[in-house]
Chains A and B, each alone.
Chain A
Amino acid sequence: MNPEILEQMREEFDGLKTAKYMRNIAKKGSCGKCTPCRESMPRVRVLIEKLNAGDITAEEHAELMEFAHLIEDTALCFSILRNYVKKA
């Protein structure tokens, strides 16, 4: 894996506002309440590990980004976070 491309991939994921939360959830497990996170987290965990290890294909990175956007856009906790930010 070309180190420049890997770096771009990492930036793209970690550049998400929710990347830190997602890494945390992937490590500790989701609460299990809402569909996007509960159902995709086992795969997201694997993909994040691959990203960390530098052993990830372009397709897998695209897949990770797709799940990340799904979680960011539709997960319950992120929706709540957005609403609190809006109110503040």
Chain B
Amino acid sequence: MAEKYMIIDGKQCSFTCERNVLEVAKNHGIEIPYLCYCEHLSIYKGCRLCIVEDEKGDLVASCGIEPKEGMVVHTNTAKVRNNRRKLLELMLGSHNVDCASCEKAETCKLMEYAVKYGATAPIKYNAQPRLPIDDSSVCITRDPSKCILCGLCVRTCDEVQGVKALELVKKSSASYVGTAEGKPLAQTNCVGCGQCASVCPTGALVINNQTKKMWDMIDSDDKVVVQVAPAVRVGIGEAFGLPEGEPVMGKIVTALKLMGADVVYDTNMSADLSIMEESAEFIDRLQNGGALPLFTSCCPGWIQHAEHKHPELLHNISSCGSPMEMLGALVRKQFKNEHVYSVAIMPCTAKKFEAARPELVKDGEPVIDLVLTTSELIRMIKEADIDFANLPDSECDNPLGDCTGAGVIFGVTGGVTEAVIRHVLNDASPETLKTIAECGVRGLEGTKIFSVTAGDLTIRIAVVSGLRNTDALIAKIQSGEIEVDFVEVMACPSGCINGGGQPHADGKLREKRNDGLFLADERYALRVSDDNPALKYAYDNLLGGRAHDLLHVHYEKH
């Protein structure tokens, strides 16, 4: 594409096909503030913070103007500064400035800008009655008193997820963000994916922080057994100054042990287990006329979405529990003679809901006692004053600590499917792994449709992430427009690397986390699930022939 130039703050800035002047500025290291803009969502132009001054001396929202050859704008004139400051002071005036005890204190954009742009005199003239906190959901908490009406949550839940659990209620100066039909969040079609909390610039939507529970468990006399999901290891380092997307599982294990965890496992191991179980289930359905296409079951956001919107597909969903569930079941058997706390560190807010499901009670005990997200683990590491960046690596505990590259890639969209394909072809040679990598399964696009041939078996596959994409795919399958045998669904766009429990990631950061996960994959000696020695241990010593009871769950039509 031909390169063009515009002038920002007297500096020549090249652009090609950027969506707006805000993006052009960003690409040239000029940080224009914004609260209501997101590269993945429709443009709103509501917060007015991204205003720049044009050649006529007028202010215009830089998120809403396309760059043009020869366009001249200024981001820091007196007019921009004074108006920007007043806008921030108005926002602060309507805001619950409870900052010291706010979940979002470290990452609140409103606070960051208030400090940066000198908004020191809040203008308190729009005193609306304070709307109550909604903590009905076990995954996320809503506090409307901290809402700045940017609408990012509403647009995410609509445009990306198609769930529409959140609504912008227009009432002039008393406008607010509410829920569908005004119900508590847990009673709407909310699936707990946490994408709203991820994109929220303030503390209006936050992950339900349960770190105190983990400290209580650690302080108790009972053992704390922790599993860590694949995507966590590429989402945590940046909070401690490490390169974005770099896999740091070794440091996570050390940190957990320093914090007081007794045993640390990697959910990677049970990802391998789920490949064995789910592939067997899939082949069985192919050969014996079972429900096809088979839909994956590891994503709790997808499961809830299916229960709300596609209950007729529940019998198509694999009966396998998620890797988190499977490892939890193994932990209960591994430590069957003592009471232990079974904790999971996940990139996912919906896993908090999954852990509390009745289907995850096995032999009278929930297999997971507590789910903490990556963001909460970051909190605990900081609270314990651990110098994460300089920690040495530690290995996971045995006998369930063995992992493969096939398991670690579960954290990205297409990863589960690629692991299945590696198993079906059962060939870890570099040539075959390369062929698999290039078959269409990789990439962060929302929908990928392709086929894989193994001997005389051709499997037609769809990989989808984001629930609006999922609904569109399901419509095509149900109308007969597309025929597939296997469907991988992740509720969060790009998969778990961009889960609601991870620090927020824009497109570039998602790519880095994706790359980091495949780097971790390449570093493993074992690349195919079948080769994981811990599987034999699990089947022979822990499952006692009850794999179907312990590793499978049945989601009933409500």
Give chain A's interface residues, CB within 8 Å of chain B.
29-36, 38-43, 66, 70, 73-76, 79, 82-83, 86
Contact = CB atoms under 8 A, between A and B. Distances in A.
A35 B91 contact: yes
Given A30-B173, A32-B171, A76 B90 contact: no
A-B pairs, 10 with minimum CB distance = A29-B172, A32-B175, A43-B125, A39-B90, A39-B126, A74-B48, A33-B46, A30-B172, A32-B172, A32-B170
B51 interface: yes
15 contacts: A32-B149, A33-B44, A34-B45, A34-B47, A35-B148, A36-B48, A39-B90, A39-B91, A73-B58, A73-B83, A74-B48, A75-B48, A76-B46, A76-B48, A76-B61
B94 interface: yes
Contact of A39 (B56, B61, B83, B173): B173
Interface of B: 44-49, 51, 56, 58-61, 79, 83, 86-87, 90-91, 93-94, 123, 125-126, 148-149, 170-175
Contacts of A86: 56
A73 B87 CA distance: 11
A29 B125 CA distance: 15
Contacts of A32: 149, 170-175
B172 A40 contact: no
A70 B80 CA distance: 11
Given A30-B173, A41-B173, A76-B46, 18 more contacts: A30-B172, A32-B172, A32-B173, A32-B175, A33-B46, A33-B170, A35-B46, A35-B48, A35-B90, A35-B148, A35-B149, A38-B172, A39-B125, A39-B173, A74-B48, A75-B48, A76-B48, A79-B58
B210 to A, nearest CB: 34
A79 B60 contact: yes
B87 A74 contact: yes
A39 B192 CA distance: 31
Contacts of A74: 48, 51, 59, 83, 87
Nearest to B169: A32
Contacts of B175: 32, 38
Nearest to A75: B48
